[in-house]
Amino acid sequence: MKKIIIITMLAFTFINVDAQQSSCCSAPEQFAALSSDIAFVNKHEEPIPFNFISDAGNSITANCADGTTAKGYGIMAASKSNKYVFVFHERWGLNDYIKKASEQLYNDLGNKVNIIAIDLYDGKVATIRDSAKALMSSLTNERAKSIIQAFITMAGDSASIATIGWCMGGGYSLQGSLLMDKKAIGCIMYYGMPETNVEKLKTLNADVLMIWPNQDKWINEEVVDQFKLDMAAAKKYLRVEEYTADHAFANPSNPKYNVEASADAYKKSLRFLKLKFQLF
């Protein structure tokens, strides 16, 4: 069963299952805090081994303002294009599942959009829970912003950028869009933690599509309801697609993978992106 909620001018304060997080904390700090939540860590089954080899995608780099290098995985449009989708990985890192999802987006958008899967872990990938916990907790707000900004700069001043991400990456999908100013045209968050600061949300240029499984104990109904209220206060557009499913339901490497719900959510996500890029 699935419910569709369409709301214009909506936002979000993250609330834990047991208690509301302090509003003084930034969303990325709250991401890191989740890495210490044993129940949250245990909820993420270790990914089923998977290898993906693509003839279209390549490792790419971008220059950060601090002199360091940002890493990613890119698939460039068949013809020169200023359209981009930035893909944000889950807590496991930029693994082959994310690369496969990136190539599927590339193909389904008709090879007309540049796809960049951003590596927030600087080349590290986790295959076990403890490693994922360490990587997620060690990612600082400053480093994440530096990496994302490097790829925004690389895309260029005329770029139109949409974002998509899952779990931790769902939160960073929104954080990335907040960094893009007028370049941001759309944001898709799969069960990700939204921004807590309404004043910051007022700067958001992108419409937001949130994919929400109503059995999620972290991004729960209370969290989503607050998100709607905050986005309304910020006078921003939010569309929530609700599914009878659990956290990580769209991850094919997770035992909670829901084939039917995942296919429907992807269909809605693809339509959202095509509308934003005017590909119909």
How high is the pLDDT of residue 41? 61
Which one-letter amino acid corresponds to residue 123? G
Question: Residue 122's Cα: distance from chain center in Å?
Answer: 17
Strands (DSSP E) contained in 227-280 are 238-243
| Tokens 């309801």 found at | 225
Q: Rounded to whole angstroms, how far apart are CA atoms 31 and 168?
A: 7
CA dihedral 39, 43, 46, 50 (to 10 degrees): -150
How high is the pLDDT of residue 20? 36
**Helix 141-155 vs helix 27-34: angle between axes, to the nearest 10 degrees?**
120
Which one-letter amino acid corresponds to residue 280? F
How high is the pLDDT of residue 254? 84
The CATH number of the domain holding residue 259 is: 3.40.50.1820
The pLDDT profile of the chain, 280 residues, written as one tens digit per residue, is 444 444 433 333 333 333 333 333 456 666 666 656 666 666 667 888 888 888 889 999 999 999 999 999 999 999 999 999 999 999 999 999 999 999 999 999 999 999 999 999 999 999 999 999 999 999 999 999 999 999 999 999 999 999 999 999 999 999 999 999 999 999 999 999 999 899 999 999 999 999 999 999 999 999 999 999 999 999 999 999 999 999 999 999 888 899 999 999 999 999 999 999 999 8
**Helix 27-34 vs helix 168-179: angle between axes, to the nearest 10 degrees?**
170
User: What is the 8-class DSSP label of residue 261?
Assistant: H
Count the domains in the chain. 1
Strands (DSSP E) contained in the chain are 2-7, 58-63, 69-75, 83-88, 114-119, 160-166, 184-190, 207-213, 238-243
Residue range(s) defining the domain that contains residue 174? 2-277
Q: Rounded to whole angstroms, how far apart are CA atoms 231 and 237?
A: 7
How high is the pLDDT of residue 113? 98
Helix (H, G, I), strand (E, B) or coil at 152: helix
